[in-house]
């Protein structure tokens, strides 16, 4: 009868010498083998996340990449006629209606106005005709004009927007910040159109509307 090696371990039908397969090197190899599936899953996850981020960045990337060489158009007007209580007059309401015919075919995408009654009473006929809301801006001053214009030009790059100002100083600031020289559209019925390319000089077309 064959004697069993006291230093052996009986495994199934085979007898394996004690300690075989349990050396540090064997355990390392076994651990590496067991870890491969997890490593593969981890690498695949990283690749998937990378591809997903690339896709999303491509979809929601900045507007500048989707509109190379875009030209932005800003229409600048003064509010319609008012009385001494800063309320739009009957003539002012007629002029507010006239702005619709003057710009309705220019594909205006947004209307901006300070939160002033005389300004806000000037543009509702146009806003209703176009079916768009009036976006409020802070009071226009030397300290706010750069931020206001920069945000409008960035948000509406390549589009057409209308901006209604008030007062000679306020309109002068807007006019010069948009690239014009001299005075802005201060007289009731003045309508200045600024064509602002990505590069090159700004073109200003001075027109009028209403009677």
Q: What's this model's pTM, rounded to 2 decimal places? A: 0.68
Residue 167: per-residue pLDDT: 83
Give per-residue pLDDT as tens, 30-86.
555 555 555 566 666 776 676 665 555 444 333 433 356 799 999 999 999 999 999
Rounded-to-5 percentages of helix, strand, coil across the chain:
40, 25, 35
Element (H or E) spanning 64, and its range?
A: helix 63-66
Domain boundaries defined on the chain: 9-59, 65-208
Distance (Å) of CA 193 to CA 35, 93, 179, 189, 205: 68, 22, 11, 13, 5
Mean pLDDT of 11-39: 48
Q: What is the mean pLDDT of residues 160-171?
A: 91
For residues 206 and 190, the answer to whether their CB atoms sit within 8 Å is yes
Higher per-residue pLDDT: 50 or 3: 50
- Indicate the burial class of 124 (C-beta count within 10 angstroms; 0-12, 13-18, 19 or more): middle
Q: Is 57 helix (H, G, I), strand (E, B) or coil?
A: helix
110-164: pLDDT as tens digits: 999 999 999 999 999 999 999 999 999 999 999 999 999 999 999 999 999 999 9
- Asked if residue 180 has pLDDT above 70, the reply is yes
Residues 27-46, buried b or exposed e (16+ Cβ, 10 A)? eeeeeeeeeeeeeeeeeeee
What's phi and psi for 176, nearest 5 deg?
Answer: -75, -35
> Encoding tokens for residue 39?
């490593």
In the structure, what pLDDT confidence band is assigned to residue 211 with cuts at 50, 70 and 90?
A: confident
Do residues 126 and 164 lie in contact, with contact meaning Cβ atoms separated by under 8 Å?
A: no
pLDDT number for residue 179 = 95
Element holding 155 (H helix, E strand): helix 145-155
The secondary element (H helix, E strand) that includes residue 25 is helix 24-59
Q: Which helix (H) or strand (E) holds 3?
A: none
What 3-state DSSP class applies to 122?
A: coil
Does the pLDDT value for residue 183 go beyond 80? yes
Is the pLDDT at 172 greater than 80? The verdict is yes
Angle in degrees, CA 69, 75, 76, rounded to 5:
135
User: At the fourth CATH level, which superfamily is domain 65-208?
Assistant: Phosphoglycerate mutase-like (3.40.50.1240)
């Amino acid at each position: 009868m064959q004697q069993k090696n006291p230093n052996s371990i009986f495994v199934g039908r085979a007898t394996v010498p004690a300690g075989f397969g349990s050396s540090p090197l064997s355990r390392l190899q076994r651990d590496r083998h067991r870890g491969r599936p997890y490593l593969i899953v981890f690498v695949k996850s990283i690749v998937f996340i990378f591809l997903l981020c690339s896709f999303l960045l491509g979809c929601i990337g900045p507007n500048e990449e989707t509109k190379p060489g875009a030209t932005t158009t800003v229409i600048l007007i003064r509010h319609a006629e008012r009385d001494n209580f800063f309320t739009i007059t009957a003539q002012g309401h007629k002029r507010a209606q006239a702005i619709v015919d003057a710009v309705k075919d220019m594909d205006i995408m947004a209307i901006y106005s300070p939160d002033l009654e005389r300004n806000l009473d000037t543009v509702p006929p146009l806003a209703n005709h176009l079916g768009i809301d009036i976006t409020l801006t802070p009071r226009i001053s030397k300290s706010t004009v750069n931020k206001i214009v920069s945000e409008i030009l960035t948000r509406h790059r390549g589009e057409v927007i209308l901006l209604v100002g008030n007062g000679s100083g306020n309109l002068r600031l807007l006019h010069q910040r948009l690239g014009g020289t001299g005075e802005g559209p201060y007289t009731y019925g003045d309508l200045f159109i600024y064509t602002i390319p990505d590069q090159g000089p700004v073109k200003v077309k001075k027109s009028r509307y209403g009677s």
